[in-house]
Structure 1
Amino acid sequence: MHHLQLTLAALWASAAAVSCLSYVPLAKKLSKTAQIYQPGSDDFNAAVLRWSNLSTPVANIVVVPGTENDVVETVKFANQHRLPFLAINGVHGSITTLGKMTSGIEIHMSQLSSIAVAKDGCTATIGGGVMSKNLTDALWAAGKQTVTGTCECVGYMGPGLGGGHGWLQGRYGLVSDQYVSMNVVLANGNLITVDEHSELFWAMKGAGHNFGIVTSITSKIYDIQHPNYAMETLIFSGDKVEAVYNLANEQWLTNGSSMPVDLVNWSYWYFDPTTDAEKPVIAMYLIQEGVQTVDAAHTTPFLQLGPITTQAVSGTYRDLAAWTGISLNSTPCAKTGNANPRFPIYLKSYNPTAQREVYDLFTQATTNASTPFSNALFMFEGYSQQGVKAIGQDATAFAYRADNLLVAPLLTYPPNGPAADAVASKLGNKMRQILFEGSGETSLNTYVNYAYGDETPVAWYGSEQWRQDRLSALKKDFDPAGQFSFYAPII
């Protein structure tokens, strides 16, 4: 541990010279399609612009690889000059540990965007810069699909390195459960292929940010079985909090059960004065595959609670992101200059009493006339879990297959210095703590891809000692100097 801290300190200290460094030797080794963006240029500014402006990484130069070997050459160049480096793609990477990169090279993966379906139609090889929507659309055109993140503007790779939730996980498992092999550039600049025969494969599927830059992946793909989907949206007033989540428990989450395999239940809390001028509303989404209308067995009990409004829509799988407000054109995909911290927790079921306590706190935070958090969003993601739970708990570094719900407040606010950030941190952690105490669990389980940054490796990667020991041993073997330590570091 002490050795790692010294090594990182030396890296960061030496990085002060990065802006004076000549990148001509690197440029000569890169492919013709690679690009280097210098500070001050429009391309540079666009490449370093973050979705969340809270504790952001600082880059002095941006390299846009055109080939997998360009990533190799960039990492070797960075090592030669003792410079930090960080690969990025897509949006929503908001963890505060990224701010530990105070200078260095950003490796922008956007050009590694190839998608090739194998002749047998069972796998696809996907470039490290591919976006979730692009993959969904390309596979759809071939009559195929696979598990991706739900939001259209996130990269395909990033969510998978942390496990990766998606609409299809009830059928097939997590995003990372689809991985057959991956090409990875290690900290020393070596490009290796990792598959089930490699000890690193286990770690890449849940803690992959800590071990390398994935330049391409071969993933399982599937014939489209259920192209059509329906969704019922029910908007409730805040006085129905206990009733709504008690019913959700009764419908799906009692006696160790989980969502039906063809159903996803999401809900959002947000302040919408046009619907309720005093309190945040509860937007309940019931999403079902293979139907034109959501089954009355799911909708009728909620309708009987008396929602303010209801809306039914039907379409295809490709409509889901727009229906749930996370399409490319939706506000959560926009780079607005705001800080966007989240405070995630996994739950097995809802505690209606805790839901009420958190809702009241969320109400105070979003409706006060002087609040910076009026645009905050509370997210409750209830995916079907059959495909996730069919895979052994110890099969991958993702530790939370037994949990049914992914819950997180998203405290969108304009950055206004450390004091404002401290208020957001205190509020977000307080709401999460209420849910944790109400869960009856002994350890805080968090989703590393939504993490705020003040959680521990135990919260990110699992409380079992064998998990922590295995990850630490692999870290020592594959990244002894801790060069991949900017995103939720293991140690």
Structure 2
Amino acid sequence: MSFSLGVTLATAASLFFSGVAAGTLNRRDDVRAVFTKSHWSSATTISFPGSDSFDAKTERWNAFDPPTYAVAVSPGSQSDLVKVVKLATAHSIPFLATGGRHGYTTTLGALDNGLAIDLSNFNSVKVNKRAATLTIGGAVRFRDIYDPVFEAGFEIQMGTCSCPGMVGVTLGGGVGPWGGVHGLLIDALLSLRVVTASGRVVHVSAKSNPDLFWAFRGAGANFGIVVSATYRLQKQVNRGQILVADMLFPAEKNVSYFNLLEAYNRKVPKGISISSFVLYNTTIGQAQIAASWAYIGPEHEGRKAFAPVFALKPISTNIQTFPWNKVITSGSGGIDAYICQPGLNHNIYEVNARKISSATYKSAFSKISAFYKNNPTARGSDILISIYANQAALAVPDSATAYAYRDTVAYNDIQFSWSGSNSTLEAITTALGRQLRSEFAATSGYSDLAVYLNSAHGDETLKQKYGTRKLPRLAALKKTWDPDRVFRYNNALPTRYP
């Protein structure tokens, strides 16, 4: 076991619990003596604030309202992970287990000087070609699976960025651009190996702990730490080639563009994915629309499907075919590299919609334009409108999983971004974010605000996050599997509902 300003977890836990700051342990001989008496695998590391190791194990994609930690532990084995959980619960030490550290819900900020369980050692990626399955460790990010899956001749549901942890995205539902063809990421999930609140290691699947399997597919962060997950792979569509058209539309064309989006209320063709960014162009000094339309299928079909948007005559058009494993990192003008930068403040509000409203988009365009004008330090902010087909997602019965919003066609993300501390900007973005969220929700086609759990701001109601029908069963399972609510920082469930 290696260390950086480190001690054994047992010592760290007792010191933390008694109120003695772990950072006061500066005598190296004492640290080494305690270290030697412990029985941890050589790969396990423990770090404290002030060390490079600690920073590397706790740096988040989002610096807005983050959790804070007194100690970071990186278990090197499953047995050490079990020990970590048992020690933390025995000493009432609050903790978070993290893979990609991409989550941005503000509920995470309720963890103050707790324990960071860093899963970075659980990073294996295994493709079984004969079984057509993918098994990954709990810390694997999407970018880690692209090449192995593609080179084996398969593809799988994916998110919209390369940097989030794949398991973390799965647990909240796993929406993505190919919901019309492959469904949600939870629809590909076959099984999980999980460390529960009691420190047990359990196998979770349709046949083993099926109730827990139901809950993990849509509310999984509430029920345990995923050591590994196995997914069903899909055969490549069109030999894994995806047509992408990246386009720019000036401000004066926003009305016609949003009118076109509204036309997809009738039906989104199952092979189409439409991503539209309202963002600030520093060269021309105003807002514009950057659109990325993708088609999973033959190129001639894709070009025919894109005909309506081409007819709007964008000021810039770049049409390319990307292999499945490169479409996220290379499509959309390479915006993935920018989006994945860690350490910025992201104050984010999200609204699911099963109805697309051109009028709402036009109003939002006007308001974000005014925001850019008045807040030059936050011009990296944007509104992302993701329209995904959902035929395959809807083919799975709603009752089959805990995820509540399979009928969503548009995911509207209001994303305010800036660097450094700025309380004035925080107040401005919070007010505008809530206003825009309310306006989007009013025309969403749902009777109340509905949010994709992985994109929840954190101030939404339980019903808005999980849907009314699912909550009683989820609460009952929470009481069974985590009665003390040790998993309580990521949009936590109660143990009773109502």
Matches within 5 A, 1:202-221: 202-221=214-233
2:327 paired residue among 320, 323, 328 = 320
1:362 paired residue among 368, 384, 393 = 368
2:277 paired residue among 258, 268, 272 = 268
Tell me the secondary structure at the aligned position of residue 411 of structure 1.
strand
Measured in 1, the distance between the counterparts of 2:52 and 2:58 equals 10
1:309 paired residue among 310, 316, 340 = 316
Letter matched to residue 65 of structure 1: P
Letter matched to residue 349 of structure 1: K
Measured in 1, the distance between the counterparts of 2:92 and 2:36 equals 14
1:281 paired residue among 288, 298, 306 = 288
Matches within 5 A, 1:66-465: 66-118=76-128, 120-197=130-207, 198=209, 199-226=211-238, 227-250=240-263, 252-254=264-266, 257=267, 259-274=268-283, 276-277=284-285, 279-292=286-299, 295-325=302-332, 330-335=337-342, 337-368=343-374, 370-462=375-467, 464=468
Letter matched to residue 359 of structure 1: F
**Cα offset, 1:17, TM superposition:** 4.5
TM-score by length of 1: 0.90
**Cα offset, 1:417, TM superposition:** 4.7
Identity in percent: 29
Measured in 1, the distance between the counterparts of 2:82 and 2:124 equals 18
Deviations 1:29-51 (A, max 9, x none): 33222222232211111211121
Larger mean CA deviation between 303-312 and 381-390 belongs to 303-312
Contact 2:246–2:333 (8 Å) recurs in 1: no
Compared CA separation, residues 299 and 145, structure 1 to 2 (3 A): closer
Compared CA separation, residues 241 and 176, structure 1 to 2 (3 A): same
**Cα offset, 1:328, TM superposition:** 9.3
**Cα offset, 1:438, TM superposition:** 2.3
Letter matched to residue 114 of structure 1: S
Letter matched to residue 399 of structure 1: A
- 2:483 paired with 1:480: yes
* Residue of structure 2 equivalent to 1:8: none
Measured in 2, the distance between the counterparts of 1:294 and 1:310 equals 18
**Cα offset, 1:428, TM superposition:** 0.9
**Cα offset, 1:432, TM superposition:** 1.1
**Cα offset, 1:119, TM superposition:** 5.8
* Residue of structure 2 equivalent to 1:35: 45
Compared CA separation, residues 351 and 421, structure 1 to 2 (3 A): same
Tell me the secondary structure at the aligned position of residue 359 of structure 1.
helix
- 2:475 paired with 1:469: no
Measured in 1, the distance between the counterparts of 2:35 and 2:466 equals 39
TM-score by length of 2: 0.89
* Residue of structure 2 equivalent to 1:6: none
**Cα offset, 1:371, TM superposition:** 3.6
Contact 1:54–1:415 (8 Å) recurs in 2: no
5+ long unaligned stretches in structure 1:
1-10
Letter matched to residue 231 of structure 1: V
5+ long unaligned stretches in structure 2:
1-13, 26-30
Compared CA separation, residues 425 and 29, structure 1 to 2 (3 A): farther
Contact 1:287–1:294 (8 Å) recurs in 2: no
Contact 1:63–1:105 (8 Å) recurs in 2: yes
Tell me the secondary structure at the aligned position of residue 343 of structure 1.
strand
Measured in 2, the distance between the counterparts of 1:452 and 1:39 equals 27
Measured in 2, the distance between the counterparts of 1:94 and 1:374 equals 20
Tell me the secondary structure at the aligned position of residue 372 of structure 1.
helix
**Cα offset, 1:117, TM superposition:** 2.5
**Cα offset, 1:434, TM superposition:** 1.1
Q: CA RMSD in A?
A: 2.3
**Cα offset, 1:18, TM superposition:** 6.4
Measured in 1, the distance between the counterparts of 2:233 and 2:483 equals 35
Deviations 1:203-246 (A, max 9, x none): 10111111110000111112323311111122112232232122
Deviations 1:258-306 (A, max 9, x none): x2222111111100132x32x3111122111233467343333223323
Compared CA separation, residues 43 and 159, structure 1 to 2 (3 A): same
Compared CA separation, residues 40 and 445, structure 1 to 2 (3 A): same
Contact 2:127–2:148 (8 Å) recurs in 1: no
* Count of residues in Structure 1 that have an aligned counterpart in Structure 2: 470
Matches within 5 A, 1:55-70: 55-70=65-80
Letter matched to residue 427 of structure 1: L
